[in-house]
Structure 1
Amino acid sequence: MDRLNDKWLRLIGVPLTGMLSNLVFFDAQNEAAEISRITAMALSVGESLLLWETNRLGILLSRRKFPTIKATTARISTQVIWFMVMTVTTRFLLSYYYDSTQFWGYALSSRAYVFNIVVPFFFIIPIASIYEAMYFYRQWYRSHFEGEKLKKEHLQSQLLSLKSQLNPHFLFNSLSTLSSLIPENPVLAEKFTDELADTYRYVLKTQDQVLSPLKEELNFIKTYFNLLETRFGKGIRLEIQVYPQYENHYIPSLTLQLLVENAVKHNAVSDKTPLVIKIFTDEMGNLFVKNNLNKKLNMVASPQMGLRNIISKYKLLNQPEVIINHSEESFQVQLALISSQEMTKMKLSDVI
């Protein structure tokens, strides 16, 4: 929940409502109790501060419980109930105190009690409306523009993946591998061709998806890895240990492909020092992608656009931060898995 940034509204609003209420409530009879207008004004400001802060607390609590645009009705209903209970209680106790002590120089009638309780609502309602209008606008603005930003991030992810698959180097290696397989092992060449087609098919399938089931991502990465294995042989290995209960959870589409590609791009691959990529989960519902390090010599610095893209998506989806653990021996990325219930709450169809 955002911090309630209303410093200037309170600095101006409290004294102003105090002065206006003093004009309404101050009576000439007050002079009989030797209470000056300045004293009465100060008391009015104090009462306004009490009411303002009491009802402001209700606004904070309602936003914490019902923070989204879709929960606006529930949030406003909660505020209305809070305002009525707290305002009636506060104003009644103040009136009772003034009545029992005859603070103003006279006893209060039943009509005065009602007047003292009802009039403050003419101040509370417009002030609460200002608070809610400002909050609703900020929520709408964030939902709209972050939705647009998420679309751009998703598009960038697609382009990065397509770029890595379609760049001349990748095509050259894939076609060279296929060319050598055709005369030597036609059956394997046919399998390689099918897997290459499946790789492109999945990329095109996910172009309209922000999230994909982990099970689908794992099936895709196995197909993608077969291409790498055909190319590098025993120089590369993939180990997957994922709890079955998490296979129906979600992650941003093509995340695993970007991370596996990142591992291959930054490490030397050979039979003597194989690149081992591990994909596994823990009992807390976190997904890990880990690989040993065998950095290439004369490696050109990488902007790590794929990794930054994943981090940005998790941030926009209000998910736990992506955790990167980098040591001399290994590189590991920790991702939070998104349950079906969480995805439903996100209403991602609104931002796709």
Structure 2
Amino acid sequence: MTKLNDKWLRIIGVPIITLVALVIYHEGNAFHRIDLHSEIIHSVFAIIVLWELNRLVIIKSRNKYPGIKLTRTRIAFLLFWTFIITIGIRFTFSLFYSATKFWGYHFTPQRYIFNIIFGLVMLLPILAIYEAIYLYKQWWKTYYEAERLKKENLQTQLDSLKSQIQPHFLFNNLSTLSSLVAEDPKKAERFIEELSSVYRYLLQNNDQPLTTLENELKFIDAYFHLLQTRFGNGLRLIKDIPAAKLSYLIPPLTLQLLVENAVKHNAILSHQPLKITIYADDSNDLFVVNNLQVKSKSLPSDKTGLANISSKYSLLGQPHVVVRQTEHIFQVKVPLINPLNPSVSYGGS
């Protein structure tokens, strides 16, 4: 349940509204010789009752329609119920005072109307203050999370770019290219094209929070071609993605990090190939699964790749990334983001 940190607003607001009420009603109360102390006590009581009931409506509205996107709906809900409550409370108090002659006289219809209007007029600025504070905090939260996501994206892109320009990566690919030039010029030409595709994708998507699954799979095809040229039949990629899922969104380089992770930590043998399977299900989840054949001298893992992916999905307000490992497989499940969501933006190919 939403918690309102409004202690000081209530401490300051109730006396101010009480003072305004005393000034507004002073002439009529003086005419009827109403005791000032009684007037103050009952004014404070009526204001606190009205404030606390409407405060519950504010909490309810934020729980039901949270965030900046639902501001109009939340305000409409808030105004409807606060008006109903305020009119009901002010009418009930007026009816009680009139029926019991609490102040020594019956209330006229004009008095009923005036009391209700006064309650509404006093209420609107209070609601505006609550909503303004809430919107400011939501804006700041959105801005802060957007900045964090931007930093996470940049860090992921930087880490990936570093991994691609590390001496061993360049050395391996240049060695492969050198042998291909002599043995098979056509394959060498294809290898160069795929290598350029890898770097072009890294540069084009460097500042994008999301990209389509279709773009990511095209990149994986280029990236995997480089790997398979090096490892031959020891490495296999299986993709099973329905066409309807290709327009869904994921953070750039998600698949590359997961494929790289599988290659890094598993033995790749021609007689015992490492199989990496990428598929999607009807629940809009994407799975990357590989058979486990851990290297005898496995490289130490800091798990930054998985941590970066998880952090991105968390900042995007998406379900958690799920990692599952058994004796035979290693599986990572990541959510596919609906492209119809108006809050997302993504890069093209």
Q: Same fold (TM over 0.5)?
A: yes
Instruction: Tell me the CA shift for residue 41 of structure 1.
Output: 5.3
Q: Map Cα deviations across residues 212-245 of structure 1 (whole Å, 9 max, x no partner).
A: 1111111211221111111111221111111221
Q: Displacement of 1:11 after TM fit?
A: 5.7
Distance 1:31 1:290 in 2: 84
Matches within 5 A, 1:97-176: 97-176=96-175
Alignment match, 2:273: 274
Q: Which secondary structure does the structure 1 equivalent of 2:205 belong to?
A: helix
2:108 corresponds to 1:91: no
Give CA-to-partner distance per residue, 1:64-99, whole Å, 9 cap, x none. Answer: 555443554554444334333321122112212332
- 3-state DSSP of counterpart to 1:215: helix
SS at match of 1:302: coil
Structure-2 separation of matches of 1:253 and 1:278: 18
1:341 alignment partner, SS class: coil
Alpha-carbon offset, residue 48 of structure 1:
2.6
Deviation at 1:314, TM superposition (A): 0.9
Aligned partners of 1:348 and 1:258: how far apart in 2? 19
Structure 1 Cα separation of the partners of residues 254 and 149 of structure 2: 15
Q: 2-side partners of 1:334 and 1:9: how far apart?
A: 46
Q: Secondary structure at the match of 1:207?
A: coil
Question: Structure 1 residue 174: deviation in Å?
Answer: 0.9
Aligned partner of 2:343 in structure 1 is: 345
- Counterpart Cα distance in 1 of 2:17 and 2:211: 56
Change (3 A) 1:76 1:274: same
Q: 1:241 to 1:325 in 2, by over 3 A?
A: same
Corresponding residue of 1:190: 189
Q: Distance in 2 between matches of 1:137 and 1:348?
A: 26
CA RMSD of aligned residues (A): 2.9
Report the more deviating stretch, 209-218 or 197-206.
197-206
| Residue aligning to 2:307 | 308
Distance 1:30 1:329, change over 3 A: farther
Cα displacement (A) at 1:115: 2.8
Question: Percent identity at matched positions?
Answer: 45
* Distance across 2 between alignment mates of 1:234 and 1:258: 21
Q: Report the AA paired with residue 205 of structure 1.
A: Q
In the aligned structure 2, how far is the partner of 1:176 from the partner of 1:206? 28
Instruction: Note if contact 2:2-2:63 (Cα within 8 Å) is conserved in structure 1.
Output: no
Q: Is 1:79 aligned to residue 78 of structure 2?
A: yes
Matched to 1:345, the amino acid is: S
Q: Find the aligned partners of 2:246 and 2:344 in 1 and give their Cα distance.
A: 19
Task: State the match for 2:220 in structure 1.
Answer: 221
Give the structure 2 partner of residue 335 of structure 1: 334
Cα deviation code 1:228-270 (max 9, x no counterpart): 1111112211111112211111101111111111111122211
CA 1:140/1:302 → structure 2, altered by over 3 Å: closer, same or farther?
A: same
Helix, strand or coil for the counterpart of 2:3?
coil
Give 1:120 shift. Answer: 2.2
Work out the CA distance in 2 between the residues paired with 1:139 and 1:104: 46
Q: Secondary structure at the match of 2:141?
A: helix
Q: What do the CA deviations read for 1:91-134 (whole angstroms, capped 9, x no partner)?
A: 11221233223344432222321232122234322322221121
Of residues 16-25 and 214-223 in structure 1, the stretch that sits farther from structure 2 once superposed is 16-25
Equivalence for 1:296: 295
Partner of 1:177: 176
**Distance between the aligned counterparts of 1:14 and 1:226, measured in 2?**
68
The Cα of 1:17 is off from its aligned counterpart by 6.1
Residue of structure 1 equivalent to 2:50: 51
Q: Which moved more, 1:153-162 or 1:111-120?
A: 111-120
Contact 1:22 1:41 in 2 (8 A): no
C-alpha separation in 2, matches of 1:65 and 1:44: 32
Separation (CA, whole Å) in 1 of partners of 2:316 and 2:117: 44
Displacement after TM superposition at 1:291 (Å): 1.4
Distance in 2, Cα, partners of 1:47 & 1:273: 80
CA distance in 1: counterparts of 2:37 and 2:60, whole angstroms: 36
What 5-or-longer segments of structure 1 have no aligned partner?
none
Unaligned stretches of 5+ residues in structure 2: none
Secondary structure at the counterpart of residue 310 of structure 1: helix
Residue 18 of structure 1 and its aligned partner are, at CA, apart by 7.7
Per the TM alignment, residue 156 of structure 1 is displaced from its structure 2 partner at its CA by: 1.3
Query: Which stretch shifts more, 240-249 or 120-129?
Result: 120-129
Residues 152 and 264 of structure 1: CA distance in aligned 2, closer, same or farther (over 3 Å): same
Cα distance in 1, alignment partners of residues 211 and 53 from structure 2: 45
Counterpart AA for 2:194? E
Instruction: Quote the residue 1:247 is aligned against.
Output: 246
Partner Cα separation in structure 2 for residue 84 and residue 294 of structure 1: 67
